[in-house]
Amino acid sequence: MLEQIVGGWDAQVRAISDAEVLLELAEEASDEDSAREAAQSTVTIKKQLDDIEFKRMLSGELDSGGAIVQVTAGAGGVDASDWAQMLMRMLIRYCDRKGWKVEVVEETPAEEAGIKTATFTVAGDYAYGLLKAESGVHRLVRVSPFDANGRRQTSFAAVQVTADIDDDIEIDIKDVDLRIDTYRAGGAGGQHVNKTDSAVRITHMPTGIVVQCQNERSQHANKDKAFKLLRARLYDFEIAKREAKAAEDAKARLKIEWGSQIRSYVLFPYQQVNDHRTELKTSDVTGVLDGDLDDLIRTYLLKAADEKKN
């Protein structure tokens, strides 16, 4: 990863030198086309240098690696479960735009529409460093498609992002602290429905952390994946404790209702996305819900970095 950053920096140094030569030639020959090309090169170089500086800012121990994302429906009934599914799609579309690999490891459908909860892993450069900006409660305001009277509905869903830690990081997990349950994996029906109890749910009793996996073909494979998720969640929990914000802050993050949202998405009576941490607003709600999150994430992370410095 460091080689990529240094290599990118060296490439921009060479690009600056080339642009200077091109500009000098344009001035000597009064060549407007070359002058325009040199000007365009400076715009491209500035963008590349901004990206390098931004990645340098993501210097946390695990920022450059993969992520584990959990989406959970909150207050708002069937609209909340539908919103949770929309939020999951938004995040996966963002990952697709970045060229990251996404694997859904668990998805629990809600009774009427949407999902109760879902977990997916993301593999890609700086996936955790960027996606951690999405951790928190997300609020949706719209005319409910599930209300026959067409009334406005407010619903909530939560996103929790943890680092997908390497296997060489030691996490002490005692068997006596675990409750392991197996159950039949859900599906849409038909001949491919799993007819055995292959899905696995693991509860870490001391912390109350629960992970589950149902998308692998065998109980053994689901158990291995669930343990990987548990190790990541426990690592995140220990980091939070080390930073003196485990108990109360963890409870606040899990309170998926009024007053706890980090971002609001308003579809009616006007169209606007508002990040309450930075007060950055955009009317391009469709673009955001389709995964165009770069400005929102970048603005939040830059503000968080500035606050950390001060």
User: Which of 5 and 241 is assigned the larger pLDDT?
Assistant: 241
Question: What is residue 45's predicted lDDT score, i.e. its pLDDT?
Answer: 87
- In sequence order, the β-bridge partners of residue 154 are 141
Which structure tokens are listed for 143?
């005319």
Q: How confident is the model at residue 206 (pLDDT cuts 50, 70, 90)?
A: very high
Q: Are 155 and 75 in contact (CB under 8 A)?
A: yes
Higher pLDDT, 244 or 23: 23
Residue 175: pLDDT over 70? yes
Q: Write the DSSP string, 38-69.
A: HHHHHHHHHHHHHHHHHHHH--STTTTS-EEE
Say what the pTM is: 0.75
> Mean pLDDT of all residues in the chain?
86
Return the CATH number of 175-242, one of 3.40.50.2300, 3.30.160.20, 3.30.870.10, 3.30.160.70.
3.30.160.20
Give yes or no for residue 246 having a pLDDT over 50.
no
Across residues 50-75, what is the average pLDDT?
A: 86
Predicted confidence at residue 172, as pLDDT, reads 86
For 110-150, the pLDDT digits (tens) are 999 999 999 999 999 999 999 999 999 999 999 999 998 98
Phi first, then psi, for residue 99 (nearest 5°) are 80, 20
Dihedral sign for Cα atoms in the order 288, 115, 137, 246:
negative
Residue with tokens 């009064």: 30
Q: In the block, which residue shows the tokens 């949407």?
A: 114
Dump pLDDT digits (tens) for 148-170. Answer: 898 999 999 999 999 998 776 77
Closest CA to 194 of 219, 164, 161: 219
> At 290, is the pLDDT very low, low, confident or very high (cuts 50, 70, 90)?
very high
pLDDT band at 44 (very low <50, low <70, confident <90, very high): confident
Q: Could you state, in order of their start, the residue ranges of all structural domains in the chain?
A: 2-57, 67-168+245-309, 175-242
User: Has domain 67-168+245-309 been given CATH number 3.30.70.1660?
Assistant: yes
The pLDDT of residue 104 is 96
Which residue, chain included where needed, has tokens 């955009």? 282
The residue among 3 and 235 whose pLDDT is bigger is 235
Lowest-pLDDT range, 9-13, 227-231, 286-290? 9-13
* Confidence band, pLDDT 50/70/90 cuts, at residue 193: very low
